[in-house]
Structure 1
Amino acid sequence: MSEYQVSNIDPGILATVTDELNKREERQKRQYEFLRELQSLARELPSKFQQRLSSDVLVSLASSLLDTTVFAIVSGSSDIQRMEEQNLFSQRKKLINDLSEEKQKMAATHKERIYKCQSATHNLKHVELQNREELEAFERKKRDELFRYDKTVVEKLDAKVRSQQTTLMKAGVAGFYETEDPEEIRLQMYILDFIARLSPSGI
């Protein structure tokens, strides 16, 4: 384009084009920096996961990180997951404490029954059997309640993982889709760690 032609271009249009070219150049620079850092992080992984993170995947991931929304999504979901895990842990601890108190009360009752048998020793065997059966029933109840609670915890955490997978898939983050495959979930966790470590504000 000649100097004459450039001079006849509307200054506003020229400024807009120049600004757009600068933005494009800055995006390409940022994407390259993300790619370089992702390649470095990928080399820290076990070899079988390094092989899964191909150049195409890393390029796609670097491109998705140009949208700062991705960092916000990961930060927000990580915060929510931490709170959920703390809440579930507190509830489990309370359940264990409640069961422990129940067992202590039962032990006190059993001790009182045995004490009363001092004046009626003919009832001792019956009382000991009753105490033993109640203790065994309590232990079964404890196992069942903890099993049910832990099953609920696993289901809730699995639901959180699926929700996170769907959200990040819709955001265009490479490697994310709904899956229950432990290997795939482990790879996704590595990618989440990459995003957290590359976040401008940290997570």
Structure 2
Amino acid sequence: MEKQYETNVDSRLLATVRQQWVERQVERERHYGRYIDDIHQLAAKLPKEMKEKLPGDILSRLAASLLDGTVFQIVRELEEIQQLKERNLLNRRMKILSKQKGRRTELDKRHRVAVHAASASERATLKLQQQEEREELDSELEAETTQCDQEIILALDQLLTEQQSTLQRAGVPLMFVTNRSEDIRLQMQVLEWTQRLAAIGY
């Protein structure tokens, strides 16, 4: 006859653990129900073509991904990182524009001094030379601004890729690395819902 396994764990402790587990499951179900109801209400307000791309199973998966609160925390942190990155990029651009303004001001000052010092017969030729110099500077500064803007776009694209990858690893539906505007619109909708639900708090 086989010996029955006997545990040394206090039966009251086991009962408490079981009760806590049941309570957690009930709480999860309650949160899931609220999330799914709210998500369906938000989805109902979308245009028809977008609704068709967000079927019920996607909405259910989104609600399930929010249950432990990790996704809310990730989205908050990604938002903070994005705001910091955007501020840094904007400050960098503003510094470049400020420096360019200084160069234009300095050039204008130098031109005025040169015109004032020139004789009447020299002024017409001098003004043509100064116009060429101004156009060269404008062209140089425009190229500098264009390069800065391209670098900003690349940095923001890289940030988007990192966000998509992070949220995909967190199990958020519709999150994957893409540059298709249609996919990104859906992803932005999912993020907006997540932020709204985080603000409600249950």
One-letter code of the match for 1:192? Answer: L
Residue identity (%) = 29
State the 1:125 CA deviation. Answer: 2.9
Offset from partner CA, 1:130-182 (integer Å, 9 cap, x none): 10111111111121111100101111111111101011100101110000011
Partner residue in 2 for 1:6? none
What's the TM-score once normalised by structure 1's chain length?
0.87
Between the aligned partners of 1:96 and 1:125, the Cα distance in structure 2 is 31
Partner residue in 1 for 2:112? 111
State the 1:11 CA deviation. Answer: 4.3
State the 1:200 CA deviation. Answer: 5.4
What's the TM-score once normalised by structure 2's chain length?
0.88
Between the aligned partners of 1:44 and 1:201, the Cα distance in structure 2 is 18
Partner residue in 1 for 2:46? 45
One-letter code of the match for 2:68? Answer: D
2:47 maps to 1:29: no
Between the aligned partners of 1:127 and 1:56, the Cα distance in structure 2 is 74
How many pairs are equivalent? 192
Change (3 A) 1:201 1:40: closer
What do you get for the CA RMSD once the two structures are aligned? 1.8
Partner residue in 1 for 2:165? 166
* Correspondence list, 1:49-128, <5 A: 49-117=50-118, 119=119, 121-128=120-127
Name structure 1 gaps, 5 residues minimum.
Answer: 1-9
Partner residue in 2 for 1:129? 128
Between the aligned partners of 1:20 and 1:52, the Cα distance in structure 2 is 36
Between the aligned partners of 2:129 and 2:34, the Cα distance in structure 1 is 72
Between the aligned partners of 2:136 and 2:45, the Cα distance in structure 1 is 51
Name structure 2 gaps, 5 residues minimum.
Answer: 1-10
Moved more, 105-114 or 42-51: 42-51
Secondary structure at the residue paired with 2:184?
helix
State the 1:201 CA deviation. Answer: 7.4
Between the aligned partners of 2:117 and 2:199, the Cα distance in structure 1 is 71
State the 1:16 CA deviation. Answer: 3.2
Secondary structure at the residue paired with 1:52?
coil
Change (3 A) 1:67 1:200: farther
One-letter code of the match for 1:83? Answer: L
State the 1:90 CA deviation. Answer: 1.5
